[in-house]
Every structure is written in structure tokens, then in C-alpha cells.
Amino acid sequence: MLASLLFVGLGPQGTHALHASEQGAVSYNRDVRPILSDNCFRCHGPDSASRQAELRLDQHDSAIQDRDGLRAITPGKSAESEVFRRLTTSDPGERMPPTDSGQTLTAEERETIRRWIDAGANYEAHWSLIPPQSPALPEVERKDWPRGEIDRFILQRLEQAGLSPAPEANRALLLRRLSLDLTGLPPTLDELDAFLADDSPQAYERVVDRLLASPRYGERMALEWLDLARYADTNGYFSDLERQMWRWRDWLIAAFNSNQPYDQFTIEQLAGDLLPAATIEQKIATGLHRNHPVTNETGVIDEEYRVEYVGDRAETTAAIWLGLTLGCARCHDHKYDPLSQREYYQLFAFFNNVPEKGMITGTANPPPVLQLFSAAEQQQLQQFQQQRGALETAWKAAEKRLEQPFLAWQKTAAEALPAACPADAAAWYDFSDGGVERIGRSQPAKAVDRIRYGDGVRGQGALLDNGGHFEFACDFAPEPNSPFTLSAWIRPAAAQTGCILSKIEPAGNLRGLEVLWYRRQIRVDLVHQWASSAIELTTESRFAPHEWHHVAVTYDGSGKAAGLKIYVDAELQPARTERDDLSGPIVNDEPWRIGRKDETMGFDGLIDEVQIVPRELSREELSGVYSSQLVGGALAVPAEKRSSGQKQQLLEYYLRQAAPADDLNAYQRWTTLNKQQAELLAGIETTMVMQEMSTPRETHVLVRGQYDQPGETVASDVPACLPPLAAAAPRNRLGLAQWLVDPGHPLTARVAVNRLWQQFFGVGLVKTVNDFGSQGEPPSHPELLDWLAIEFVRSGWNVKVLQKRIVMSAAYRQSSRATAELIQRDPENRLLARGPRFRLPAELIRDQALAVSGLLTDKIGGPSVKPYQPEGLWEAVSYNGDYSYEQDHGSALYRRSLYTYWKRQSPPPALLAFDAPTRETCVVQRSRTNTPLQALVLLNDTTYIEAARVLAQRALLHAPGDEQRLRYAFRRATCRWPEADEAARLRELFKQERAAFAEHPKAADALLAVGEWPRDRSLDPLDHAAWTNVMCVLLNLDETVTRP
């Protein structure tokens, strides 16, 4: 613990100091620029707006310019350089950096500046902007150590620092390291045994080749890229609605598995849609830049968010491919790097031509999208097309035949309809004639607040808006022993809960009765005393807003929930009983209310035909009322004014009542086909993609980055500090992507190989993986970085070849054991005098537990899955608590963690605890923390308890003796045999646990019931439970969760 604090002091400046102390000459890029950038460039650098005294210290000409006899820098003469004087003066008014900047230079830094000026103040272009030059391979003293070029670069630094490399790690650990690095999974025992038995010189290389060819490789490589791509399964902002982007994720895995060259990989993700004859896969690849969060918050200003999306794409592109912090140039010129605000918007322009909105509406993937028909769906659609002709002809013929009879029928149909209201109704409000018509034994309803009227089902309906409602008195007072039927038509304007009909107290016991439109369901409450004596019933189905629904509640007077039924459109609804303990009267002094309960729950939408009948209507009677109101309503409207819905209702009623059976049949076959086809099309999977508008949007510099402050118009282009776009290149995303992967580009290959290096060594050669600019750290091994970049391009951007070079190196194969002295000297292991050792990423900890226990499912791809997660997390934060995590079952519980459903608002908590990001922005480097919450996850999460239980089961079935069982399980978890004292300690634990379970056998059953994987009941439960706790130790070992 203390040692980890000693990391402090060895950061960018730390390695920089390491360089300077080792070598005599001062280098501008390595030694001077970091000091100037950090302390001076903010006011004397690239940003013209904040520049002071017209002085730039990032440019030679400005620095040496004669200013009334003074020069900021006089090459060769620090004593005549104003810069040096101001850095060293004791006058606080003259001292630089100014006191209020909070910046100061150390004595060592001031000395570096002095030496640099005295040596001639040579400026160099920033190292990362100069294309890599093929370096000479270093000569080393210890000729027997290097296995390849990489090692010569590493060894040279070690020899300079007076360090020696560590010996090679033992073979078992080496295999574990390799397997975890290349596939994210530990080796199986068979793989381990095979490797240990293979004493040929090619054994190691054969394993490398096997792992690189494994389908697991693509899943492992995708992990980092998903962070870069801010991939998730939800939209992120406001309601955080679901999206479908897993096709892009699957494209990514396949691209890694097929070892797609990095240049092609780049082009397809940035501009696959613009390639000639682009394939579906190439279009899917462009989903990279649709992965960013989007909002559906009502009331946002569309352009404000659209601009954010475009900016995110430009900045993410710069982070992934250029390693540049482009975002710093959004509101003003970059303070440290030669990136102007204008250039920001030139890059922005490449991504500004997508036909998209800032505020998304609806629940489907926001456009532009690609529709992805499965083979079965294609076939089904074709089948529908084939059937169309015949079915349409048949029905059209019938329709023509029936035209006259149908018209004739309409003239008399109204008389033949069943009653629109039962004769014994206690109340019926149909809202016709501009007001409220009273029918039955009720009083006229009093409108409270203003009511508007709109088209109802039959004549007018009342249009309520959350506030206005009706109150009325009625002879009928509902009681637990009095049967009744309540019914109404509703057309809700929103999903928001509102009361349809109530007679209920506002406070106290909340006694009474209410029928609610409740989160798109119908809910009925009969309350004697709230929360202790009531019947509460809610439909299982949810209903669409903006459509008419006939809602009826019937009750038999039994006092039980079983006596309460809910019908929607005359169909009995399956309903959930939330409470069934009504034990007293529900009578109260409140009026009946339509469209509201007491002071709250105003209904938003149309209500029509409210009826109260003091008996339980049968399904047939209800059906009659329903049809009569619907058809009667349609008939009452002049034919030319009928809505299409009304025309259809009339026609269907006529066909059922009065037309030949064959004609009804023809109609039904035709409409069923149409319905099925519409459903098929609505169910087609989509994935979001990039697309260009035919006329590109005009791009402006946005003043201070504000969406509503457009400045000068700019055209798409690349920053001037980098090579220009080829003259013939298209000025679109394709041109940009091709420019990025031009072999002469100074950044793309370096940034890519550095990120890959980080995967294997825990830290990049450039530690600031996201910043290759002036504020970033210079590479620890600059020549090696360049050599790797050049080789990478020369190999045809071959990722697997590069990775093979890395893992074949002696540097990679070193043992990670270290002395305290070495750790103190190089805590971050930048010089690589030992093998890299670090805790596994969040996903791999879980994947490994699943693999070690044998639970892992090896299915690749598909929609994301929902494994175990504590209950209530989504409800606690989602809109109105409306969204719940519905855990999957079966093999979906045991998929690799990159398939775990990623809700940005509430990401998987067990992954978050291990430093997984929220996936809202591009992340190039996760932090790696060590916290008690991580211990709680590994000790108590169902995932790990179940894994321990199943591993115990496996061990019990594997061998008869305790020692063998232990050795087997230990090796599965760590790839090595336990040592005698370790085995003894764990056997002791087993004995203790078994004795404890023997005293509490029910505790054993309880533990063995954790998780859904079936338990082998033939095993002794005490043994099984005790072993489960021992396995828990194995899964929690530091060694297990660490890549060795």
C-alpha cells in the first residue's frame, strides 16, 4: 500500500527527468517543450485570443524577435534573454509565470531552459507531427537476451539505466498471461498440459498462433474499442431509451477475428457508406459514429444537441486516430497545440452532413438506419407479396358486389342495434349537445374548470387536459356487497397516469373507488383503508395512447378481487391482483368525478359515454353496448365525414351481421395479410448508420462554441500542422479516412501501436494515450515507437502480426516478480526491467470466473443480455420509475461480459465497481483502482457465488479425494498447483466450513440455492457447501484477478 503511494513523482516529468539525467544534451522536444507548454503556452502559445504581448514562445521566429532591443530569447545567450531573466527575477511584478497563474518552475527546470538557450535555443517541430523515421537498431551488450528488434530497444534503455531484464516467467504463468491478453480467458487444463508437455522450440509460438486464431480473440480485442466507441445499448440522455447497435458490435468482433487491416478497419468505420458499391457490412461499420448519446428530452433545442453530436464525432475521431485533444479548440484556439478553432470546425464539417435530428422522437432507432432483414424475414415478405394478388382480387370483387347492399343496410342499421345503454343504468353521460346530458338516476354533472369538447365515439366527447373534470351525484353508491358495472371510452393523450372515474376521499383512509389509466394499463381500486384494506387490480396488458379504448369494470359484490373484472374493447383482460384484503365499507361523502380523483391525477385526453349500472353486466351485454356505441356513433356521422376508422368499423360490423360468410372470409384474409405484413416490417431489426445528405449542411465556426452563434463559413479540411488532403481526395468522410491511413501520416500508426502496446504492458510507450500533443508525455522509447509504427504500416496495417511481434518478445515474457528496490526505482515499470502485472479489466474478471467454473457460453454476438443484477436499480433512477431490469435466464446468464446490456443511466454495477466507464464519452484509458466495493462484488455477487458453487460441484465430480479436488480447482483458477502450505490452509478451511455446515444443514441448502445453474443433488450438501466457500477463496485470490 505504501509502495503504491511512491508512484507519486514519476509521471511525465518523472520520465523526462530520467532522460535528462542520463544524457548530456538538452533536447527541445524531450526536455524543453514540456516546460514551456505547461508554464508559458497558455499566454504565449497557439491561442491568438489569449496571447499576451504578441509573444509566442512556441515559435522560433517570434521568440527571437527584437522588441525594442529586448529579445525573449537570444540564442546562445541566456543572460541576454528576457525569458530567462523573467523566470529567475526576484521581482514578483516581473516574475514569470505570474503568481496568480499558480504555476512555478523548479530550479531544475530553470536550469534546463538556461542550458537550452545557451546551446543555441534550437526549436524542433513537435515530435509526433514529424513522420516516424526508420531508426537504426540499437547495439546492446547482452547479445543473448533479445529475441527480436523490440528487445534491442528495451534492453538498450535498461543498460543505459544500469538495469537488467528479469528472467523469463515460468511457462504456466506465461500461458496464462498470453491467453488472458489475447483471448481474455484463462487456458483450459488441457491447453495447459499440452503446452507444458511440448518441449519443442516452437511450442510458445504455436500457442501464440492458436490464440490469435481463436474466435475468442475478437471478443477480447473488442473490449477496448467499445470504450473508445462509447458503445451502449441505450441513448444516454434524459429517458435513456433502448437502442439497437449490437450489429455494429458484432461487426467489430468479426473485423478483429478476420484480422481486417487497420487502414480498411478505419475506412469502413468512418466512411463505409461512401465506398463504391458499399456492402451491408461496410454500412453497419459506420455505426461507430452513431454510438454517441442522444436526447429525447421534450423541450430541448434541436440544433443545440445536433451540434453536440457532430462535435462528439469530430473529437472522438481525433482521440482515436490522432491522439489529439481536439475538444480544446472548440471554443477558442488550442492553448498548447497548433490547432485553431477554425480547424476544429473544418474537421467538424466532415461529420455535419448526416440527415439527423438533435431531439429524437419515438422509441425506435433514430434515423438514419439500415434495415436488416433476416433470411426468414425476407422469405416471409416474399410470401406475403405472392399472396397479395389473389387475396386482393378476391376481396375487391366482394367489396364491389356488396357496395349496394352495404349502403342499403346502413339506412336501417341504427334501428337494429342493441341498446347503447342498459335500461337500468344509474348514470350515463354522453357529452353530446355541447354539454352534459343526464340519463338515468344521476344528477347533472357539474363541469369543474374549463372543459373542451372533441369528436367522441358517439357524437361529442369531453376533452380534458389534466385539470378540468366533472363532478356529479348519483343514487348508486358502491359498496363491497353491491354489484356494479362502470364503463367509459377513453382516448388518452399521453402515457401519463390519469383518473377516468372515481368516488374517493382525498386524504385520510382514501376510502372509495377509482378507475385509472395507469402507466398505460387499466387499474381499479376499491379502498376501505389505503394500504391495509382494499382490492387493487391492474391489467397485464398495456394500451396505446392516442387510440380509443372502451374500458369496463364489472363487479359481482363478492368483496373479493376474483369478483372484479376489467374489459377493454369488450374483451376480458388478464389482470394482476395487487391487493385482496377489502374488509369494510367503501362509501364516502365525495362526489363522483369524471377525469380526476380528488385534487390530483387529472386525465389528459378524451372521455366519452361514461356509464354506471348497478349490476354486473355479462360479457355479451357489454359486447352489445360496445358495438352499439361504436357502430351507432359511426352511423350517426354523415358518410362523407366518417373517419377511416369509423368506415372500417361499420364495414366489419356489416360483414359480420349481414353479409355472406364467404365475403366476410375474403375480407378477413385480406386484412390479416396486411396486418401481418405491417407487423413484420415493424419488427425488422435496424442499426444506426452514417449517411450523407445530398446537399451538405453549411458549416460555420461557432463563436465560443455556441450553436446559435455562427461565424464564418468553413469547408471540410484537415489541420495545417498535419499533411494536407490529397488534391484529388473527396472532401468528405471517405477522403478524411483515406488521409488518416496514408502511410506518410505522422500520427495514425503511432497512436494505434501505442494503444496496442498499452494492452500488453499496462502503460503505453506514450503514457498519455489520448494526448500526443504538447501537453502529452513524450514516449519512453521514442525509437521503438517509431520502429513499431513503421513496421505496422509496412506489414499492411496487420494487427495480428504486430501483436505477435510484441508477445514473442523477451520483454513481454519476463517474470513480473520484482524487488522492493526495483519497484521504488520504476514503480510504473516504464523501463520494463520486469514483466507487466496488473489487475484484469472488469469484464475479464467475470469472464474468467465463468470459464473457470465451466459456466461460460461461447456464443458470439447477438442482442445484449441481462445477467444477474441486484433488483430495483433501474426503477430508482428511470423516468417515473417506469423501467425495470428484466433478468435473463438460461445460457444468457453465462455469456461473456461484453454482451452484458449496457444502460448508460445505470450501468452494470459489478462492472462499474471494477472501473468500467459509463460509456457516455470516448475513453482511451480506464483507471485501475483497488477498493472495498470490489471485494464485496467478488465475495457476494450471485455471479461469483454461483461460479464458486459450480466449480465446487465440478471438483467434487472430478476426483474422490479432498486433496485431488483442491489441486484440480486451484489449478483451474491459477494455472498452477498449490504449494503444500497453501493446500493445507485451504483444506483446513474446508474442514472448518464443513463442521459449521454440519451444525446448520439448512445454511448449506441456502448457499447451494444461489444462482440458477442446477445443483447436482447426488452430492453431499455439506461437502458441496463447504467446498463452495473454499472456491470462493480461489476466485478472490489476488493472483486470480490479476494478469500475471
Partner 1 sequence: MPASANIAAEWTRRQFFSRSSVALGATALASLLPGDALATPSAAQGGILSSPHFAPRAKRVIYLFMHGGPAQMDLFDYKPQLKAQHGRDLPASVRGNQRLTGMTSGQKSFPVVSSLFKFSQYGPSGMWVSELLPQLGQVADKLCFVRSMHTEAINHDPAVTYLQTGHQLAGRPSMGSWLSYGLGSESEDLPAFVVLLSRGSAARPDDPLYARLWGSGFLPSNHQGVSFRSDGDPVLYLSNPPGVDGASRRRVLDALGALNRKQADLVGDPEIRTRIAQYEMAFRMQASVPELADLSRESEQTLDAYGRFVRTPGTFAANCLLARRLVERGVRFVQLYHRGWDQHYNLPSDLRLQCQDVDQPAAALIRDLAQRGLLDETLVIWGGEFGRTIYSQGKLEATNYGRDHHPRCFTIWLAGGGIRPGVVHGETDDFSYNIVRDSVHVHDLNATILHCLGVDHTRLTYRFQGRDFRLTDVHGRVVNEILR
Shortest CA distance to 806 belongs to which of 21, 75, 212?
212
Q: List binders of partner 1 among 634-663 (CB under 8 A).
A: none
Q: How many CA atoms lie within 13 A of 768 on its CB side?
A: 17
> 649 Cβ partners below 8 Å, 6+ apart?
630, 631, 634
Q: How far is the CB of 23 from partner 1 (least distance, A)?
A: 21
Site track 1005-1024 with partner 1 (rule: CB under 8 A), x = hit: xxxxxx--------------
Q: Which of 192, 212, 328, 690 binds partner 1 (CB under 8 A)?
A: 328
Query: Closer CB to partner 1, residue 427 or residue 495?
Result: 495
Query: Closer CB to partner 1, residue 468 or residue 559?
Result: 468
Other Cβ atoms within 10 Å of 437 Cβ, number: 14
Cell of 934: 470490489
Q: Which of 621, 771, 786, 826 binds partner 1 (CB under 8 A)?
A: 771
Residue labelled with grid coordinates 539525467? 21
Cell of 495: 402515457
Q: Per rule CB under 8 A, is residue 728 in the interface with partner 1?
A: no
Measured between alpha carbons, how far is 469 from 816 in angstroms, rounded to an integer?
75
Q: How far is the CB of 991 from partner 1 (least distance, A)?
A: 10
From 409-417, 520-528, 546-554, 772-780, give the range in contact with partner 1 by CB under 8 A. Answer: 772-780
Measured between alpha carbons, how far is 810 from 152 in angstroms, rounded to an integer?
10
Q: Give a three-class secondary structure readout of 191-256.
A: HHHHHHHCCCCCHHHHHHHHHHHCHHHHHHHHHHHHHHCCCCCECECCCCCECCCHHHHHHHHHHH
Q: How far is the CB of 734 from partner 1 (least distance, A)?
A: 28
Q: How many CA atoms lie within 13 A of 635 on its CB side?
A: 24
Q: How far is the CB of 999 from partner 1 (least distance, A)?
A: 11
Shortest CA distance to 891 belongs to which of 860, 912, 848, 914?
860
Q: How far is the CB of 202 from partner 1 (least distance, A)?
A: 29
Q: How far is the CB of 792 from partner 1 (least distance, A)?
A: 24
768 residue type, one letter: T
Query: Closer CB to partner 1, residue 152 or residue 755?
Result: 755
Q: How far is the CB of 693 from partner 1 (least distance, A)?
A: 23
Q: List binders of partner 1 among 573-602 (CB under 8 A).
A: 599-602
From 191-199, 245-253, 333-341, 675-683, give the range in contact with partner 1 by CB under 8 A. Answer: 333-341
Query: Closer CB to partner 1, residue 440 or residue 1044?
Result: 1044
Measured between alpha carbons, how far is 774 from 34 in angstroms, rounded to an integer?
7
Q: List binders of partner 1 among 482-521 (CB under 8 A).
A: 496-497
Query: Closer CB to partner 1, residue 176 or residue 805?
Result: 176
Measured between alpha carbons, how far is 224 from 203 in angstroms, rounded to an integer?
29
Q: List binders of partner 1 among 15-54 (CB under 8 A).
A: 38
From 81-89, 163-171, 692-700, 920-928, give the range in contact with partner 1 by CB under 8 A. Answer: 920-928
Q: How far is the CB of 169 from partner 1 (least distance, A)?
A: 11
Measured between alpha carbons, how far is 853 from 952 in angstroms, rounded to an integer?
8
DSSP 376-391: HHHHHHHHHHHHHHHH
Q: How far is the CB of 871 from partner 1 (least distance, A)?
A: 6
First to last CA, the chain: 19
1007 residue type, one letter: L
Q: List binders of partner 1 among 364-423 (CB under 8 A).
A: none
Q: How far is the CB of 52 from partner 1 (least distance, A)?
A: 16
Long-range contacts of 97-106 (CB under 8 A, 24+ apart): 97/39, 97/40, 101/39, 101/42, 103/38, 103/39, 105/35, 105/39
Q: Which of 5, 53, 107, 727 binds partner 1 (CB under 8 A)?
A: 5
Measured between alpha carbons, how far is 626 from 630 in angstroms, rounded to an integer?
6
Q: List binders of partner 1 among 427-466 (CB under 8 A).
A: 449-450, 465-466
> Which helix or strand (DSSP H or E) is residue 552 part of?
strand 549-555
Q: List binders of partner 1 among 662-691 (CB under 8 A).
A: none
Per-residue b or e along 753-792, where b marks 16 or more CB atoms closer than 10 Å to that residue's CB:
bbbbbbbbbebbbbbbbbbbbbbbbbbbbbbbbbbbbbbb
Q: How far is the CB of 335 from partner 1 (least distance, A)?
A: 7
> Which helix or strand (DSSP H or E) is residue 513 part of?
strand 512-518
Query: Closer CB to partner 1, residue 461 or residue 602?
Result: 602
Q: Which of 744, 985, 998, 1016 binds partner 1 (CB under 8 A)?
A: 985
Q: List binders of partner 1 among 130-159 (CB under 8 A).
A: none
The residue count of the chain comes to 1044
From 108-116, 586-594, 689-697, 866-874, give the range in contact with partner 1 by CB under 8 A. Answer: 866-874
Q: How far is the CB of 679 from partner 1 (least distance, A)?
A: 29
From 338-346, 479-487, 764-772, 858-866, give the range in contact with partner 1 by CB under 8 A. Answer: 764-772
Q: List binders of partner 1 among 279-308 (CB under 8 A).
A: 293, 295, 297-302, 308
Q: How far is the CB of 379 from partner 1 (least distance, A)?
A: 41
Q: Per rule CB under 8 A, is residue 703 in the interface with partner 1?
A: no
Residue 499 and residue 603 in contact, taking contact as beta carbons nearer than 8 Å:
yes
Q: Which of 27, 183, 623, 770 binds partner 1 (CB under 8 A)?
A: 770
Q: How far is the CB of 915 from partner 1 (least distance, A)?
A: 5
Number of residues located near partner 1, criterion CB under 8 A: 144
Q: List binders of partner 1 among 775-804 (CB under 8 A).
A: 775-776
From 152-160, 479-487, 549-557, 992-1000, give the range in contact with partner 1 by CB under 8 A. Answer: 992-1000
Site track 928-967 with partner 1 (rule: CB under 8 A), x = hit: xxxxxxxxxx-xxxx--x----------------------
Measured between alpha carbons, how far is 565 from 484 in angstroms, rounded to an integer?
11
> Which helix or strand (DSSP H or E) is residue 964 part of?
helix 962-974
Q: Which of 24, 92, 93, 102 binds partner 1 (CB under 8 A)?
A: 102
Q: List binders of partner 1 among 529-548 (CB under 8 A).
A: none
Site track 820-839 with partner 1 (rule: CB under 8 A), x = hit: x--x---xx--------xxx
Q: Which of 877, 964, 1016, 1020 binds partner 1 (CB under 8 A)?
A: 877
DSSP bridge partners of 454: 461
Asked if residue 165 has a cis previous peptide bond (ω within 30° of 0), the answer is no
What is each CA distance from 233 to 92, 525, 823, 949, in whole angstroms? Answer: 56, 37, 41, 31
Q: How far is the CB of 397 from partner 1 (least distance, A)?
A: 49
Residue 270 and residue 689 in contact, taking contact as beta carbons nearer than 8 Å:
no
